[in-house]
Structure 1
Amino acid sequence: MTRSFLRDPIPEVVLSRVLEQARHVPSAGNTQGFDFVVLEGDQTSIYWDVTLPRERRETFRWSNLLDAPAIITIWANPDAYLERYSRSDKQATGLGQGMEMWGTPYWL
């Protein structure tokens, strides 16, 4: 895991390639029930203001983590998995009937 970053902006072509590769990671039923939100520039500062209050930053072990020029957040869509598993090729699993049918919520 990388915990120290340069503040240099990441070229858009590089971010696009990373996101395109991430789009193809394995997912239950090949559902791909997730979206990415990319934060850059001032948005990263706002993110850290919300998630790591300034008073905690002085003792934060990996302070250079906050220098990352971009933050990619991943948002799961459980309904996409329910819809996928309600289709004919997955219907027999019963997983399309509701989130409570999933012993493990693979969208987390």
Structure 2
Amino acid sequence: MQSPSDLELIEQVNAGSERAFSEIVNRYERRVFFVVKRMLNDDDESADATQEVFIKLHDSLKKFRGDANLYTYIYRIATNVAISYLRKRKVRAVVRLDEMMSNMLT
């Protein structure tokens, strides 16, 4: 038996099938993890980011028009999530530096 196409799975997800969404996750989870890991270079943070990617995907599949390949759409979500994590890291680093400077002055 042939596996359903990505578009068929999306139609099933939009009709309420969690099983179809699980199939999408199984198909792409490993690839997404390695995309975000290349950007974040941290296994735990990459696992969290991967989970966030699939949450965002689930929430946005009704908007998916099919103009591009599903993986292209997922890849864009993954890079945006990873960039968000990198921005949060930068903010935390600045806050820590400010705290250290404040402690040194007191």
How would you bin the TM-score normalised by the shorter chain? 0.3 to 0.5
Q: Give the strand-richer structure, 1 or 2.
A: 1
TM-score (norm 2): 0.33
Q: Larger relative CO (CA 8 A, sep 6+): 1 or 2?
A: 1
